[in-house]
Amino acid sequence: MRGLAPYWIDPRGNRFEFPDVSLALEEPDGLLAIGGDLKPQRLLSAYRQGIFPWYNEGQPILWWAPNPRAVLFPSKLKISRSLAKTLRNKAFKVTLDQAFEMVIEACSQPRDHETHPGTWITHEMKQAYLKLHQQGAAHSAECWLDGKLVGGLYGVSIGRAFFGESMFTQRRDASKVAFVTLVQQLAQWKFGLVDCQIHSQHLKSLGAENIDREEFRELLDIFCEQPEPEWRLEPSNPR
């Protein structure tokens, strides 16, 4: 069965099911399916099963479920001394869901190097995640300096699991401040995990670790079934 992947998903179909993630290719790591569409129902079905889209302009939609999976458990968040000093200085202001469209647009801009698959964001993807945001399933964290958006990230939330998609920064530590503030808030809401998708040194420095794909899927069965909190930044949240 493994040799049959990647599987074709008919974009004309009304079923939003995916093949079992255990059938994903080992090389390239995690490629499971091709095709389909980015309708909200399909995206949410994918995330719930530990699958995410990642493809370049001009390619069909590619669906991935890599093994191992990079995740961050909120209780294991790491804050370096220099970042802690930046947080204490409170030069940045952090908000949630105040500028989702601006964040995803900034994340889609070309940059010198890519450290996260979600940063290759086509027009089609931007429109799809905007729809998810309008439905209350996609969220952003924004970092502001003197009233200007200088960093942030966005992702998808199901129950008490957050699936990070992409982040950007225009000032030193701005994306880290947004990420740390969000993770601290998720911890207050008793979120079980933040999906980071693919390992990177940047994410590792913040506490992300690799876990087995099957363990990741089992954790989703626990945390995605828990009630969703009301998304607003608590005044007492440190930043």
Average pLDDT for 13-24: 91
| Strand 7-9 to 31-35 pairing | parallel
CATH (domain of 27):
3.30.70.3550
Is pLDDT of 69 > 90?
A: yes
Please report whether residue 125 resides in a domain.
Answer: yes
Overall domain count for the chain: 2
Range of the domain at 11: 2-64
Share of the chain above pLDDT 70, in %: 92
Angle of CA points 100, 182, 146, to nearest 5°: 65
Q: What is the model's pLDDT at position 232?
A: 82
Is pLDDT of 85 > 80?
A: yes
Is pLDDT of 58 > 80?
A: yes
pLDDT confidence of 12, banded at 50, 70, 90? confident
Please report whether residue 236 resides in a domain.
Answer: no
pLDDT confidence of 146, banded at 50, 70, 90? very high
Beta carbons of 119 and 70 less than 8 angstroms apart: no
In a shared domain, residues 83 and 199: yes
Please report whether residue 237 resides in a domain.
Answer: no
Beta carbons of 216 and 71 less than 8 angstroms apart: yes
Please report whether residue 233 resides in a domain.
Answer: no
Please report whether residue 235 resides in a domain.
Answer: no
Express each pLDDT in 95-134 by its tens digit.
999 999 999 999 998 865 444 444 479 999 999 999 999 9
In a shared domain, residues 108 and 15: no
Q: What is the model's pLDDT at position 209?
A: 98
In a shared domain, residues 47 and 100: no
Is pLDDT of 79 > 80?
A: yes
Angle of CA points 136, 117, 101, to nearest 5°: 35
Whole-prediction pTM: 0.92
Angle of CA points 189, 52, 168, to nearest 5°: 70
In a shared domain, residues 57 and 95: no
Q: What is the model's pLDDT at position 117?
A: 45
Express each pLDDT in 211-231 by its tens digit.
999 999 999 999 999 999 998
In a shared domain, residues 21 and 96: no
Average pLDDT for 158-175: 97
Is pLDDT of 237 > 60?
A: no
Rounded to 5 degrees, φ, ψ at 62 are: -110, 135
Which tokens sit at 228?
């969703």
In a shared domain, residues 123 and 25: no
Express each pLDDT in 169-215 by its tens digit.
999 999 999 999 999 999 999 999 999 999 999 999 999 999 999 99
